[in-house]
Amino acid sequence: MAKNKLSDLNDHLFATLERLNEEDLSADQIEIESKRAEAIIGVSNQIINNAKITIDALKLVTVGNLTFNELPDSFGLKRINQ
């Protein structure tokens, strides 16, 4: 099952760090892990930027500069009726 929460991203980043810190890696394995880490970092940065955009939009809703209904469906947010 896919892990798709920001807390899961943190777990993946630490797992990457642990792989890079393995002392018994050969030079080839270090190169492979380094390339993998670079790819993971690139994707992680995009995920984090997307989360920041969502948070910024919710801040605009909170202060009244934007209504919840104006948020794009792509944000995947659901309104909670109170």
Confidence of residue 2 (pLDDT cuts 50, 70, 90): low
Token pair in block for residue 22? 């393995």
Instruction: Please report, for the chain, the start and end positions of each structural domain, with discontinuous segments joined by +.
Output: 28-67
pLDDT of 15 strictly over 70? yes
Model confidence, pTM = 0.74
What is the helix (H) or strand (E) element at residue 47, kind and residue range?
A: helix 27-63
Work out the widest C-alpha separation in the chain, in whole angstroms: 58
pLDDT single digits (tens) 29-80: 999 999 999 999 999 999 999 999 989 988 988 898 888 888 888 777 766 6
pLDDT value at residue 9: 93
pLDDT confidence tier of residue 21, bands split at 50, 70 and 90 = very high
* Residue 29: both structure tokens together: 């394995």
